[in-house]
Amino acid sequence: MELLPLCVCVLMWAAAASAEEPGPEITVIEGHDVTLPCSISEDITAERFDWRADGQKEVYVYEGGLSSSKDLSGQHEQFKGRVSHFPGGLKDGNASIKISNTKVSDSGKYSCEFRRTNQKQHVKLLVGTISKLSFKILGETQDGVNLECEVHGETFRPEVQLMDGDGNILPAEKPKISETGRSYTIIVHTKVTTSGNYRCVATQEPIKHQIYDQNYVPVPGGTNTPVRLYVVIAGLCLALLLGIVFCICRTRRK
């Protein structure tokens, strides 16, 4: 008999853990619209569902035809005028909402709860900015030119790479990274010894976004690959021309 309370507790804990599963993670660029999914397999036209952020902020409420869009009070100031549901999907149990013109501050954990059935679903939203990038020449040294790439942004920290004009990745010092909340700054240094075009590339994989900046870097005493190639070709052509002239002169003498 003593095992019964223990079994009940275990079952209750398992049910609670299942109910609190984090759900999908959605990423979006700041300023874009995003849909947070939530649905059950029944008509919810006459039902009530509540959306909350981080367990407290009231994001959106729908109840039997009334909603936070125009009829119900209590919506958090942060979301006013930016959230709507999908009326055409209510019969199919669609309680999803759309947040328009997203802000970085919208990032967080969202819950969708159906009051009558006490069902709850969760979504994690990450809103980030497109990185801002600057690429500059720091100065000359005895053995080359120092370059610096600096990247700023929020939420989606990018991979930063320095490349030559042919797209080859250059060896660089370990990136210096500083973070404050969701904001970040990444600084990468490298040194080049050959004149040419160089670029800094920042790739934000979660949002499939890439930016770059490019500079022509002159290195004192150095030449770029195309110039060296032209010199070699010119030398070969001159040698060939001299060979032809020599052969012609020799033939005429005979």
The domains of the chain are located at 21-128, 132-224
Fold category of 132-224 in CATH? Immunoglobulin-like (2.60.40)
Q: Please report the pLDDT score of residue 199 as a whole number.
A: 97
- Shortest CA distance to 175 belongs to which of 162, 193, 166, 163? 162
Global pTM reads: 0.70
Largest CA distance in the chain: 123
Q: Do domains 21-128 and 132-224 have the same CATH topology?
A: yes
- DSSP letter for 168, please: P
Q: Give the residue from 82, 75, 41 showing the smallest Cα distance to 60.
A: 75
- Whole-number Å distance between alpha carbons of 176 and 160: 11
* Superfamily of domain covering 21-128: Immunoglobulins (2.60.40.10)
For the chain, what's the residue count? 254
For residue 196, give the H/E element and its range. strand 196-204
Three-class SS state of 118: coil
d(CA 20, CA 120) in angstroms, rounded, equals 8
Q: Phi and psi dihedrals of 182, rounded to 5?
A: -90, -10
Q: Where are the beta strands (DSSP E) in 56-156?
A: 57-63, 66-67, 83-85, 97-99, 108-114, 119-128, 132-141, 144-154
CA distance 53 to 46: 24
Residues of the chain with pLDDT under 70: 1-22, 222-232, 234, 246, 249-250, 252-254
d(CA 192, CA 181): 34
**What's the confidence (pLDDT) of residue 244?**
80
Inter-residue contact 149 to 158 (CB < 8 Å): no
Predicted local confidence at residue 251, as pLDDT: 72
